[in-house]
Amino acid sequence: MDRIALILVIVGALNWLLVGLFKFDLVATIFGGQTSFLSRIIYVLVGLSGIWSISFLNRGRRSA
C-beta of residue 43 within 8 angstroms of C-beta of residue 27 = yes
Residue span of the structural domain in which 22 resides: 2-55
pLDDT at 3: 94
Spatial CB neighbours of 4, under 8 Å, sequence gap ≥ 6:
49
Q: What is the pTM of this model?
A: 0.82
Quick: pLDDT tens for 16-43: 999 999 999 999 999 999 999 999 999 9
Instruction: Give the pLDDT of residue 63.
Output: 59
**pLDDT band at 64, cuts 50/70/90?**
low
Q: Is residue 26 part of a domain?
A: yes
Name the domain count of the chain.
1
Residue 44 lies in a domain: yes
